[in-house]
Structure 1
Amino acid sequence: MGNLFSRKSLEDEVKEALERKDEALAAAKIQVYLEKEKNVPLNIAITGETGSGKSSFVNAIRGVDDDDDEEAAPTGVIETTKEATPYLHPNFTNVKLWDLPGVGSLKYQAAEYLKKVGFERFDFFIIISSERFSENDVKLAKEIQRMGKKFYFVRSKTDQDMDNGKRKRGFGEARILGQIKNNCTQGLQDQGFQSPQVFLVSSHKPHLYDFPDLLRTLERELPEHKKNAFLLAMPNTSQEMIDRKKEAFQSKIKYVATLSAAVAAVPVPGLSVAVDLALLVGVVTRYVFAFGLNISSLKRVSKYSGVPYEKLRELIVSPLAATKITSELLVRVISQTAVLVGLMAAEEGSRLVPILGIPASMALSFTFTYKALNFFLDVLTDDAKRVLQKVLS
């Protein structure tokens, strides 16, 4: 974490600044850290044969609809992607998914293809097929491996296979999934891969099949400073995913609270509370987007799960979900929580105490922000879990 900036950890730098009574420097270091951490770039390449479902997968990861969202990557049975095209995540714009041209649509060798699409800018590659992986897929994977980057085989359109299988006698989901995976794995082994791992997914039902396992694998194998960027942008596919997001957010709360305390050292009445609320608005908005509790995310979940949007809204307890986060909204929520109201009042009152007022105000500001963010995080986590449980039921 600290090595985003220097060999010395962020905690040490902030501690040293505060020990020298340099609250402004401590606040500046934390602000730089939070901004840099929020803007860590992540570039994910999606490739495969024409018609394999690359664009639909790009849309699924980004939480946008194939048909109804103007930000969606265009989909179709013919090749719709002529060159490497970046698509920003709508809520986390530091995350880009690149829809690459179909590997069979260009008359290039694998190395030349990778050079043409800009190999170096990508953090990892996802190679998608809707059937067996082709010779072109394998050549591309071997070249990616030779050049020192990771790739993942993803078998798309699994929901269509399940629908087709239901029409056959003796249908069994586990049996059909096993047959598809074995077929893909055997095909890759026949072409020289010793122990290939294949993830079976549906871009229209990302909570099913191997989609959750794929996301866990990608997060686990990313460099440490890229993990949060990936994690927060991904759709909620499991309770574990929601818990991991909560842990990621919790690890940052102490920094936001320390920033709040540093501002409280400025002897201007009302300033600390105003800054605290501005900080909370920004952080809580990220909570809402990451947990998929904003309106557009909930509507997409409603569409792919078949659960009416109104039913999902009924499950949500917190007034922070499915709305715009404002200072006024947070004040209303805080006013219903006695502990937070007391801390906010005590912080402003402490400023009237000679000599000891500022240190007391700093401590109270830290405590207020720390408790408020944990409170908001708890209720939004619970809402996200209720929505997912309904989708999975």
Structure 2
Amino acid sequence: MCSDSDTNNAIRASGESTLKRAKKKAQQQFEHLFNVSLNIAVTGETGVGKSTFINAYRHLNDDDEGAAETGVTETTAEPTPYEHPTIPNVVLWDLPGVGTPNFKVKTYVKKIQIDRFDFFIIISSVRFKENEIMLAKEIQKRKKKFYFIRSKIDNDIDSERKRRKRKKTFNIEETLSKIRRDCQENLKELGNPPVFLISSWNLSAFDFEELVSTLNSELPEHKQYALLQSVPITSMAMLEKKVAVFKKLIWAAAIVSGGIAAAPVPGLSFACDTAIVISFFTRCYHAFGLDDRSLKKLSERVNKPELKDWKKSPLLNELRENLCKLIPCAGSVAAAAISFTMTRDLLERGLKALADEARMMLSEAGLV
């Protein structure tokens, strides 16, 4: 028999004053985790690495199935959407190169239908030029956010290292500072926006994590959930940010589960509670980089082939087998309260198990 403390725990976890309001907020938060769209526009001149960046963000190599087409000539004739392979509500758009004959700067924003995008990433592989600056001004006028990426940084580092090898004066930090200053010099009229130095071949290097942190701080909270689920894990710190997202929403999943359990329909509680728990853990599994595709990409990036054969957690299969023992099926107020408590505890234990496995995997990869 349930106690008032179970219901009170659910209300307290929500930060609301009544169970009705707690359920409403929980449903909204849970929907945000799975269904909020995030549309990222990636643009710049021809050949700067737009498609390669999109592929890297989506855990894909350029020759993988479903990858954005790459090349030294313009390969994008129209705005082309690319769904994230495991977080389908996140879409990266490969936009035609700004300033091409069919996409003049003055008509570019209208042709690409700017309102459908949450923010713009403007990429250049050299100094930012007039076209990028004019485009940024047009985006500004329409109250949209934009972020500058200086791509192919690994190539610049290699070239500078070779150039200075004889003099033995190469310093990577000085080289990066010089590249950053050169880029920012051309962007003064935009108010000195930050420039993020990125190598799409190795997102763990340079400024990718700083870019993610900046995006995360400027997006609405419900959009942050989509961003942090979808970005590649480049360090232990990045993993912990992802874990924090799921921890924050455990209460919502548990209350949604409890709300379903209160419905007097035989069998409905079990089916829905199972779906909620499994879908929550499946999102964790992919967001933490434990799926085959992510492990393969990580093993290639850190040159450790053994990571491709990382032993998978049996947690999800165990949950499918044992949920019937853990979650009540009877439709009643008692079942609702028990379902909240038990689902919350189950989600906490499962999240910890998956997070610990991901931590071990990153330690093995050397990404501490």
Please state which band the TM-score falls in when normalised by the shorter chain: 0.7 to 0.9
Write out aligned runs for 1:269-308 (5 A).
272-308=269-305
* SS, match of residue 121 in structure 2: strand
* Alpha-carbon displacement from aligned partner over 1:136-183 (angstroms, at most 9, x marks no partner): 111111221122211111000111222223323232221221121122
For residue 381 of structure 1, what is the amino acid of its counterpart? A
1:62 corresponds to 2:58: yes
Residues in 1 aligned to 2:103 and 2:266: alpha-carbon distance in whole angstroms:
67
Q: C-alpha displacement at 1:225, in angstroms?
A: 2.5
Residues in 1 aligned to 2:141 and 2:286: alpha-carbon distance in whole angstroms:
37
1:252 corresponds to 2:241: no
* Alpha-carbon displacement from aligned partner over 1:330-380 (angstroms, at most 9, x marks no partner): 246x69xxxx96xx28x57xx7xxxxx955443332222111111111122
Moved more, 84-93 or 107-116: 107-116
* Alpha-carbon displacement from aligned partner over 1:66-98 (angstroms, at most 9, x marks no partner): 11x221000011111111111111111111111
In structure 2, which of residues 229, 233, 244 is the aligned counterpart of residue 232 of structure 1?
A: 229
Q: C-alpha displacement at 1:278, in angstroms?
A: 2.5
For residue 55 of structure 1, what is the amino acid of its counterpart? S
Matched residue, 1:381: 355
Residues in 2 aligned to 1:207 and 1:115: alpha-carbon distance in whole angstroms:
35
1:330 corresponds to 2:319: yes
For residue 253 of structure 2, what is the amino acid of its counterpart? V
| Pair 1:254–1:173, CA change in 2 (3 A) | same
* SS, match of residue 151 in structure 1: strand
Matched residue, 1:7: none
Residues in 2 aligned to 1:32 and 1:153: alpha-carbon distance in whole angstroms:
33
Residues in 1 aligned to 2:159 and 2:91: alpha-carbon distance in whole angstroms:
34
Residues in 2 aligned to 1:51 and 1:120: alpha-carbon distance in whole angstroms:
25
Unaligned runs of 5+ residues in structure 2 are 1-13
Matched residue, 2:155: 160
| Pair 1:210–1:360, CA change in 2 (3 A) | same
In structure 2, which of residues 75, 81, 94 is the aligned counterpart of residue 86 of structure 1?
A: 81
| Pair 1:164–1:38, CA change in 2 (3 A) | same
Q: TM-score, normalised by structure 2?
A: 0.85
| Pair 1:16–1:193, CA change in 2 (3 A) | closer
1:213 corresponds to 2:210: yes
* SS, match of residue 147 in structure 2: strand
- Answer whether contact 2:68 2:82 (CA < 8 A) is retained: yes
* SS, match of residue 192 in structure 2: coil
Residues in 2 aligned to 1:360 and 1:108: alpha-carbon distance in whole angstroms:
62
Residues in 2 aligned to 1:173 and 1:165: alpha-carbon distance in whole angstroms:
9
- Answer whether contact 1:106 1:113 (CA < 8 A) is retained: no
1:15 corresponds to 2:19: yes
Q: C-alpha displacement at 1:226, in angstroms?
A: 1.4
- Answer whether contact 1:312 1:387 (CA < 8 A) is retained: no
Q: TM-score, normalised by structure 1?
A: 0.80
* SS, match of residue 235 in structure 1: coil
Residues in 1 aligned to 2:61 and 2:354: alpha-carbon distance in whole angstroms:
24
- Answer whether contact 2:98 2:104 (CA < 8 A) is retained: no
Give identity over the alignment, percent: 45
| Pair 1:165–1:262, CA change in 2 (3 A) | same
| Pair 1:384–1:14, CA change in 2 (3 A) | farther
| Pair 1:257–1:115, CA change in 2 (3 A) | same
Unaligned runs of 5+ residues in structure 1 are 1-9, 19-25, 352-356
- Answer whether contact 2:55 2:62 (CA < 8 A) is retained: yes
Q: C-alpha displacement at 1:262, in angstroms?
A: 3.1
Residues in 2 aligned to 1:98 and 1:90: alpha-carbon distance in whole angstroms:
14
Matched residue, 1:182: 181
Residues in 2 aligned to 1:251 and 1:52: alpha-carbon distance in whole angstroms:
38
* SS, match of residue 251 in structure 1: helix
For residue 120 of structure 2, what is the amino acid of its counterpart? F
Matched residue, 1:44: 40
Matched residue, 1:131: 126
For residue 188 of structure 1, what is the amino acid of its counterpart? L
1:172 corresponds to 2:176: no
* SS, match of residue 90 in structure 1: coil
Write out aligned runs for 1:339-358 (5 A).
344=326, 347=328, 358=332
